[in-house]
Amino acid sequence: MTRALVWLRRDLRVADNPALYHAANACKQGVLGVYLISPGQWKDHDDAPCKIDFWIRNLSKLKRELEKLNIPLVIATAHRFDQAEPVLSALAIRHGCDALYFNREYEVNERRRDEVVTERLEAKDITVRSFTDRVVLEPGDVLTKANSYYRVFTPFKRRWLAVAEEQGVEALPAPPRQERLGIESSPIPKAVEGFTGLGIDPGLWPAGEVHAEERLDRFMAERIDRYHMDRDRPAIDGTSTLSPYLAAGVISPRQCLEAALELNRGRLDSGKEGPLAWMSELIWREFYQHVLVGFPRVSMHQPFREETDRIIWNDDEERFQAWCRGRTGYPIVDAAIRQLLRTGWMHNRLRMITAMFLTKDLFMDWRRGERFFMQNLIDGDLGSNNGGWQWSASTGTDAAPYFRVLNPTRQSRKWDPDGAFLRRHLPELDELDDEVIHDPPGLPTGVRERLGYPGPIVDHAAARKLAVDRFRDALG
């Protein structure tokens, strides 16, 4: 190979970037990075404005990191994925590239796009090489004895650990600095049309791999040892908040795993509880990426458990809007939604509570909630979002059984006992004591009315019973 285009997508970093590293080491006449802006496709995928803004801000940082290595970064527009191939072909010809390198993505549309690009570029004598990057272990490397994809997490994890032990987990260094190519990098757009109006303060999520690595280091130094105890408490900074960085590939799962292994004396399945619990969450992330490949229907708005398509969900726009605006009258649900709208991120325990509330208490189609999350999350990722929603709705792989419905008020008392999280996001309830804040009294005391906080839009006990009955009737 003489010169390669390295097509960057959700791998916005120079360290441990397999496509970039291998291209730089294989090509005598250097490499150039290319990034395609695809607003039409991003709209179809419901990508949130704050997420697109995060990608763009990371591109600016990446451009600077690449320039230190004399690697130019070219930005082009391919409005939709079907325009990617002609744009890449034209760039390859213009810059004298005989190879295209990229890291694989696993959603259906992304895989189709990559197949078309590969086939057409190879037909033009351009070599195409792709690499495992979004996950530590490639989908297909972790299979059951019958050579099928796992449907349940625990056996997946057992096998994943065995394969990871065999293959080893090693992050790659940044590629070497190359001779200048004389190709100018493109300016990075300030914003992408159709994705303005972020609704959040971008300062909450600083861009760049240097920042992501610092975030990882801080988590390792200060919090991972207590992770198993603090991870369910939304008022505490108990988790890594690395999900936006992992979703955009500003940091890799190998870098995360390597750091946790270092603290755990290289052991994947024994040792300290904090690192083990955290590594297990990274394996959940892997599981859902593998599910995308093993069961592509989940990328196409289909339930994993196909029989659950018989369920007839409620269609109550007013209640759905109350949920979307954080006005359900259940403080933990409302505070969670407001955290999402204000920060672009929601704590995992709260994602489960709000998703279960929508799909069980309000008995609404999980796809509506999945879409709303995607439209607002800075870490929105089809595999994890779909997996989390289908888990909560009892329609997914290894999902919560339909009769086990989280009680939002009990969850609130358990995980936010002094209401610190509620107070942060629902200042109108601040004056209430630690007991009352989880379920403020309505009439005749009139506390909710006085504070301008709505009454519960549904009675949890009655709604739970109805949801269980409807599941039982639909599934037999």
Ligand X SMILES: Cc1cc2nc3c(=O)[nH]c(=O)nc-3n(C[C@H](O)[C@H](O)[C@H](O)COP(=O)(O)OP(=O)(O)OC[C@H]3O[C@@H](n4cnc5c(N)ncnc54)[C@H](O)[C@@H]3O)c2cc1C
Per the annotation, the verdict on 55 as an active-site residue is no
Q: Does 54 participate in binding ligand X (rule CB under 6 A)?
A: no
Q: Choose between 99 and 260: whose C-beta lies nearer to ligand X.
A: 260
Cα–Cα dist 80/21, whole Å: 27
Options 72, 274, 380, 419; binder of ligand X; rule CB under 6 A: 380
Residue 339 sits in the site that holds ligand X (CB under 6 A): no
| CA 397 to mean position of chain CA atoms | 17
The single residue among 234, 388, 408, 456 that binds ligand X, judged by CB under 6 A, is 388
Active-site residue, selected from the candidate residues 70, 281, 407, 428: 281
DSSP structure class, residue 342: H
Between CA 326 and CA 335, with CA 329 as vertex, the angle to 5 degrees is 40
Q: Which of 284, 345, 391, 415 is catalytic?
A: 284
CB of 457 to ligand X, least distance (A): 20
Q: Identity (one letter) of the amino acid at 234?
A: P
Calpha distance 236→222 (Å, rounded): 13
Rule CB under 6 A: is residue 360 a binding residue for ligand X?
A: no
- Which residues, numbered 233-272, are part of the site for ligand X (CB under 6 A)? 239-243, 246-247
Considering the complex, state which of residue 302 and residue 348 has its C-beta at the smaller distance from ligand X: 348
Q: Could you say which of 366, 385, 386, 391 is catalytic?
A: 366
* N residues, the chain: 476
Can you tell me the distance from the alpha carbon of 255 to that of 263, in angstroms, rounded to the nearest whole number? 13
Q: Which of 16, 110, 379, 439 binds ligand X (CB under 6 A)?
A: 379
List 162's β-bridge partners, or say none: none
359 counts as binding ligand X under rule CB under 6 A:
no
Q: Tell me how far apart the alpha carbons of residues 155 and 106 are, in angstroms, rounded to a whole number.
A: 21
Kindly state the smallest distance separating residue 79's Cβ from ligand X, in Å: 24
List 323, 345, 389, 391, catalytic entry: 389
Number of residues that bind ligand X (CB under 6 A): 29
Determine, following the binding rule CB under 6 A, whether residue 364 of this chain makes contact with ligand X: no
Q: How far apart are CA 169 and CA 90, in angstroms?
A: 37
Q: Does 12 bind ligand X (CB under 6 A)?
A: no
231 binds ligand X (CB under 6 A): yes
Active-site annotation holds for 281: yes
The maximal CA–CA distance of the chain, rounded, in angstroms, is 79
Per-residue DSSP letter, 149: B
Min dist CB 198 to ligand X, Å, is 17
Cβ atoms of residues 398 and 391 within 8 Å: yes
Assign 3-state DSSP to the chain and report helix, strand, coil percentages, each to 5: 55, 5, 40
User: How many C-beta atoms lie closer than 10 Å to residue 179's C-beta?
Assistant: 8
CA 105 to chain centre: 13
SS3 6: strand
CB nearer ligand X, residue 281 or residue 428: 281
Which range of residues in 134-142, 268-276, 280-288, 405-413 is near ligand X by CB under 6 A?
280-288
Which residues is 36 bridged to in the sheet? 76
Shortest spacing between CB 347 and ligand X, in angstroms = 6
Q: Closest separation between CB of residue 228 and ligand X, Å?
A: 11
- Paired residues of 102 in beta bridges: 7, 130
Of the candidate residues 60, 185, 348, 409, the single one contacting ligand X (CB under 6 A)? 348
Stretch that binds ligand X, among 95-103, 170-178, 278-286, 295-303 (CB under 6 A): 278-286
Output 246 or 335, the one with its CB closest to ligand X: 246
Q: Is residue 323 flagged as an active site residue?
A: no
CB 358, CB 364: distance < 8 Å:
yes
How far is the C-alpha of 394 from the C-alpha of 308, rounded, in Å? 8
Task: State in angstroms the smallest separation of the CB of 128 from ligand X.
Answer: 28
Q: Site for ligand X (CB under 6 A): which residue of 57, 63, 285, 460?
A: 285
284 carries an active-site annotation: yes
Map residues 140-169 to x or -, x wherever contact with ligand X holds by CB under 6 A: ------------------------------
Side-chain-side CA neighbours of 369 within 13 Å: the count stands at 30
Helix axes 84-94, 108-123, angle to 10 degrees: 40
Active site residues per annotation = 281, 284, 313, 348, 366, 389
Contacts with ligand X by CB under 6 A lie at: 231, 239-243, 246-247, 281-282, 284-285, 288, 347-348, 351-352, 355, 373, 377, 379-381, 384-385, 387-389, 392
